[in-house]
Amino acid sequence: MPWFYEPYHDISAIGIHITELRHHEQSAFQDIKVYDTVGHGRLLLLDDMVMLTELDEFVYHDLITHIPLCVHAAPRQVLVVGGGDGGTVREVLKHPGVERVVLCEIDERVTRVCQRWIPSVAGHLDDPRVELVFSDAVDYVRSHAGTFDAALVDSSEPIGLAAGLFAGSFFADLRQALRPGGVISAQTESPFYAAATVRAVFNELRGVFREVHGYIGNIPTYPGGCWTFALASDDRSPATLDERRAQALRCNYFNPAIARAAFALPEFTRRLVDPA
């Protein structure tokens, strides 16, 4: 049986044992593949980069969602930038106070493919609280000032389509799109293999928000197995995390102890996200 290998920055490669190609298409934006695998469930590739496997996707989706939403006082209106696979939306909907979730994904085909082939991840997108917007998030965010309590930037690697989602100008527009007390989260790449990217993104965030904090999680099928995230706000921080709400959630990875421990960074990572 064949293996799929994803090289990462010419430094390392991830290998996943695949068994059957379930779907393959070239959308207007990118190449989309879904495979069955040995031990990983369904595998989603975009331009031959691993986006998720059913084995470990919950780690990423829990972290990018529940930390910011538990840090916020009472999130009701939530924006998910990217995240066309639907996993972040699935986790947002676990928060009973959320009234509306906007998924802004540039490539509708990613969402439709995941609804068909990976319903364990995309199976909640028909919830009446969910609004699907298939548009460039840069334009959408710029035209929705003062709208959201939280914005979760669930983007792919900062190249091609996603490059603009890591720019300081986009973070400034996100800040304007937030209501008072608003928060954002973003995936910020591997601290081992993309240190320059991690440092650059946090520098951009610190130029926009007063409170910027890094946190980490362990995701086996992402390069290096360790991944960084950013939490940013003008007036919320890890100290405002509501442990009562965190405890009430039913997750596969996230709990109050994880919420606290995620901000305990190894020293080499701390120097990337907080050079002071």
Domains belonging to the chain, first-starting first, are: 3-53 (2.30.140.10), 57-273 (3.40.50.150)
Q: What is the DSSP string of 111-127?
A: HHHHHHH-HHHHTTTTS
Least confident of 155-164, 230-239, 244-253, 260-269: 155-164
| Each residue's pLDDT tens digit, 169-204 | 999 999 999 999 999 999 999 999 999 999 999 999
The verdict on whether 154 is a catalytic residue reads yes
Catalytic residue from among 85, 107, 149, 154: 154
Contacts of 269 (CB under 8 A, 6+ apart): 191, 198, 214, 216, 228
Output the CA–CA distances (angstroms, integers) from residue 243 to 70, 151, 218, 257, 259, in the order listed. 8, 20, 21, 9, 9
**Average pLDDT of the residues of the chain:** 95
Q: Compute, in degrees rounded to 10, the torsion defined by CA atoms 266, 271, 273, 276.
A: 130
pLDDT at 159: 55
Query: Considering the entire predicted model, what is its pTM?
Result: 0.95
Give the list of residues 6+ apart from residue 143 with CB closer than 8 angstroms, or none: none
CA distance 90 to 94: 7
